[in-house]
Structure 1
Amino acid sequence: MNAETVRFALFAEVFAALAHPKRLEMIHYLGERQHTAGELTELTG
């Protein structure tokens, strides 16, 4: 594998980890402002 292929494989792993709906919901709320873990729990159930 060349360096570019490895780089894209790593990107794919990161995006796969973020693909879960609850994780995306948390990212959405964190994009609005900072939240504590407790606040994120309340917001996302």
Structure 2
Amino acid sequence: MTLFTDITFFEVCMALLTVGLAERALLAYAPIEMVGPNGWLIKGKVEE
């Protein structure tokens, strides 16, 4: 058996949803230095 045989479709979907929600929360509430146009964590178009 390999490592990937135990991963279900539901687990993959939930992981993608969790990452997407975390990114949206970071873009909304993190300081502009972290997630702004020249941010060190996420480079994005964030309006102040």
TM-score for the superposition, normalised by structure 1: 0.46
Structure ranking higher on relative contact order (CA contacts 8 Å, 6+ apart): 1
